[in-house]
Structure 1
């Protein structure tokens, strides 16, 4: 564990985790604090940020990070559709630019960061509808499905996986793969690590997860497979790559998905990084482990979109210091 990641955990434990101990979630406060504290990196050299936030930009409302020299990237090269985290009720593409920029430059791939609708103004299935509509627009606009990787972190990771399941159920051509950082896949809050890692997680308390779920779900059952994809049938999905920290209260959300994917014959890589905080790649470029995680994520994007996918392998845990 680097001193940079130890410092990040120290900061989260003192500044973020106390907010999750309050028995009621203040949505507006969470949004205001996130907007105030969000750090936005500079657009990397040779790349540009194209913002699409107008009312007529839906379903592709959000941000493109793409090469300035469009001829340098083949139309059949990889494209990433990214869903940001934030419990379905706060954060935005702007708050997650460090992940998106890092992934785009490493994979040499344009990334579209989706500005999906947030709860409680727009409860389930609004976010899911936005994610599936964005994917379909990419395909309709000429992006080959086999060149697309759908990705996300935390709630956005659960959303990416749920969108993949919904697209399969609807008979859509599926993307090349799915990349998930610390995904929130169980809104029923049944994971064992909600209890066993409570107090070890520097970012969240275990009971906060169920509170956040209610904001998004409304009257929807928490075990609905499109809201909590850990309860979905995962047969027929493309390769998955999942990363989570060993002390996260949401670790079991990743472990159970990896186990179910393996049982369904899905190629699934699952890495547990020792003592890393929730969605640590967001601390790129400051934390060495964040940079290493994005390197590995980009390698997955390049591999699955090159057609060089390997046969299904056991979703055994790879532990990374």
Structure 2
């Protein structure tokens, strides 16, 4: 465990975790905090950042991209934005030499389920309509965005749309019922959240929708015929089992899964790049996965589980 990760865990435990113990969500406070308390990296030299699209932002490399990434940011479906997650999207883009579209999907409580899913499906279909081959696209997301990425795969498959080459899920929130055992065993170990906050966040997003709906909680979906998945999660996270159960169920359905469990890192630790070495390493591993999944010459490897 690096000193940078130790510091990051201390910071989120002191500044973020207390808010998750409050009895009510303060949506405006969370949005204000996310807009003020973010470190936005510089646009990489030679790359082009285009924010003119009202539905999201593009980061494009100076040379021909090897892949296109559709990125879905986290934030419990009610805060954060493409700008707040540039440390991840810029890091993935430069490492994979990929262009990234970071989707600014509609947020709860103004727009409840399935608004975010409708937006992500529409964004993917727009890529196809613009001539981007499905086999060159990877859908990625973190936390709620990771769950949304997996739900998007289920929705696309169910209607027979061409599926992307792969998906990258960073600490995905896949079970809005909170039934994972780590919601209890890691309560107090997770430096960012109290477990009690998740039912409140879920209710705000779901409205009258059943939390077991597979497009809201994709852990309850069927995973047959999904593309390869890379899942990265921390061992102290409340959402640990949201990742491990997806990996187990997907492998049983014949899906290739790479599951990486990182020790003693905060939730969505990749957002601490380039400060934290674990974040840099995780993004590099994700870029390698993306490059392999979108390469016509990729080989089929056995499932992998790593403790990092």
Is TM-score (shorter-chain normalized) higher than 0.5?
yes
1:156-175 alignment runs, 5 A limit: 156-175=145-164
The aligned residue for residue 64 of structure 1 is: 58
In the aligned structure 2, how far is the partner of 1:52 from the partner of 1:143?
Answer: 20
User: 1:318 deviation in Å?
Assistant: 1.4
SS of residue paired to 1:269: strand
In the aligned structure 1, how far is the partner of 2:45 from the partner of 2:101?
Answer: 18
Would you say how many aligned residue pairs link Structure 1 and Structure 2?
308
User: 1:307 deviation in Å?
Assistant: 2.8
User: 1:311 deviation in Å?
Assistant: 3.6
Q: Please state if 1:10 is matched with 2:10.
A: yes
Q: Please state if 1:107 is matched with 2:101.
A: no
User: 1:211 deviation in Å?
Assistant: 1.1
The aligned residue for residue 73 of structure 1 is: 64
Q: Please state if 1:48 is matched with 2:48.
A: yes
User: 1:312 deviation in Å?
Assistant: 6.4
Alpha-carbon displacement from aligned partner over 1:30-89 (angstroms, at most 9, x marks no partner): 1111111011111011111100343xxxxxx1110112x3xx215xx3100000000000
The aligned residue for residue 19 of structure 1 is: 19
SS of residue paired to 1:185: coil
Q: How big is the alpha-carbon RMSD for the aligned residues of Structure 1 and Structure 2?
A: 1.1
Q: Please state if 1:318 is matched with 2:306.
A: yes
Alpha-carbon contact 1:268-1:312 (below 8 Å) kept? no
Alpha-carbon contact 1:266-1:312 (below 8 Å) kept? no
TM-score, normalization: structure 2?
Answer: 0.98
In the aligned structure 2, how far is the partner of 1:196 from the partner of 1:35?
Answer: 32
Alpha-carbon displacement from aligned partner over 1:79-123 (angstroms, at most 9, x marks no partner): 000000000000000100000000000000000000000000000
The aligned residue for residue 136 of structure 1 is: 125
1:1-321 alignment runs, 5 A limit: 1-54=1-54, 61-67=55-61, 69=62, 72-73=63-64, 77-311=66-300, 313-314=302-303, 317-320=305-308
In the aligned structure 2, how far is the partner of 1:66 from the partner of 1:89?
Answer: 27
In the aligned structure 2, how far is the partner of 1:79 from the partner of 1:189?
Answer: 32
Alpha-carbon displacement from aligned partner over 1:120-178 (angstroms, at most 9, x marks no partner): 00000000000000000001100000000000000000000000110000100000000
Alpha-carbon displacement from aligned partner over 1:264-297 (angstroms, at most 9, x marks no partner): 0000000100011100000000000000000000
Going from structure 1 to structure 2, the CA distance change for 1:222 and 1:309 (only over 3 Å counts) comes to farther
Alpha-carbon contact 1:262-1:313 (below 8 Å) kept? no
